Amino acid sequence: MTIYDIAREAGVAASTVSRVINNRPGIKKETRQKVQTLLKKYNYIPDAAARGLVMQSSRLVGILIVDIRVAHHTESAFVIEQELTRRGYCCITMGTGPRDEDKADYIRILEQRRVEGVILMGSMFETEAVQESIKKHLPRVPIVMVNGYLDLPNVSGVIVDEDTGVEKCVNLLFARGKSRLAFVLDSRSPANFRKQQGFCDGMRRHGVKEEDIWKYEMKESSVQGGYDITVQILRERPDIQGIIYTIDLVAVGGVRAAYDMGISVPDRLALIGIDNSIYGEICIPKLTTLDNRLQDLSESAATILREGLEGKVQSKKLMMFSEIIEREST
């Protein structure tokens, strides 16, 4: 069913049908009526591709997420999609997978679909390959990174100061009398390295010697992974007093490990996660966590992208501040 089919049956020209569809003025009432009846009769819906072709605009926004199973990323995507959908854009979100070349390739796919704006979710997109792909394929399309940044004229970033946030966590633990601390990295994302940097800075500021700044890295970012690494840490360093994890999901595995080993939290061991996710509210004791304010981050990202879509200024770098939510594990 095309406008021509409708036009023929209505005994008018295709352009008239087009005018009716787009509510253009200057159509006789009866003609408009007649056409509209037919449109309804055949459940006619214009082809977005054809319309986009002639209008030179797709009204499409791409949201790229490395892994849509990661809770805090879908939370963000939800907020952003809501806002942009309200503004008349059609948000298509896609999972790229962790491989760098695939992430870059999805930039190409977005060019192919002629998106008018892009959201990049998470610091995992802060890579050379992605940067090059943007330069190649989407050098003029407004792009906003959530918790990440790339130095390109059309890319904006909304980031949270997780480094100083983690430093504050270190301070909190010291204030609670815990000074022998470890840091657990769940995956090698730029954001996580920033967190680790904050940990090291905090420890140094407290006069801890370099060899007593304990850093651990895990194989798999999961509850089980958090469990395993925590057991290992407790074996290697029986006198440890506190652990900071890059992500709640992994920290709750640590809570369980402590429980199974008969180590009381927070008395003997204090635990802190990051993200202020639902996981931290489930476990017993409830997890102290660094709130990186993803909700606010996402809203800002949506706003900045909207401005970009409307042709306003680009390439902002917005910084937000994280804060500790102290619960039962410290």
Partner DNA sequence: CTGTTAGCGCATTCAG
Partner DNA sequence: CTGAATGCGCTAACAG
Smaller CB separation from DNA, 138 or 290: 138
Candidates 3-11, 64-72, 293-301, 318-326; binding stretch for a second copy (CB under 8 A): 64-72
Query: Per residue, what are the HEC states of the chain?
Result: CCHHHHHHHHCCCHHHHHHHHCCCCCCCHHHHHHHHHHHHHCCCCCCHHHHHHHHCCCCEEEEEECCCCCHHHHHHHHHHHHHHHHCCCEEEEEECCCCHHHHHHHHHHHHHCCCCEEEEECHHHCCHHHHHHHHHHCCCCCEEEECCCCCCCCEEEEEECHHHHHHHHHHHHHHCCCCCEEEEECCCCHHHHHHHHHHHHHHHHCCCCHHHCEEEECCCCCHHHHHHHHHHHHHHCCCCCEEEECCHHHHHHHHHHHHHCCCCCCCCCEEEEECCCCHHHHCCCCCEEEECCHHHHHHHHHHHHHHHHCCCCCCCEEEECCEEECCCCC
Q: Is 330 in the site for DNA (CB under 7 A)?
A: no
Q: Which of residues 262-321 bind DNA (CB under 7 A)?
A: none
Contacted entry of DNA, a second copy, none for residue 58, CB cut-off 5 to 8 Å set by kind:
a second copy
Contacted entry of DNA, a second copy, none for residue 78, CB cut-off 5 to 8 Å set by kind:
a second copy
Q: Is 4 in the site for DNA (CB under 7 A)?
A: yes
Contacted entry of DNA, a second copy, none for residue 23, CB cut-off 5 to 8 Å set by kind:
none
Smaller CB separation from a second copy, 47 or 323: 47
What is the binding site for a second copy (CB under 8 A)?
Answer: 43, 45-50, 52-53, 58, 67-69, 71, 74-75, 77-78, 81-82, 90-95, 97, 108-109, 111-114, 136-137, 223-224, 249, 252-253, 255-256, 259, 278-279, 281-284
What is the binding site for DNA (CB under 7 A)?
Answer: 2-4, 11-16, 18-19, 21-22, 24, 26-32, 46-47, 50-51, 53-56
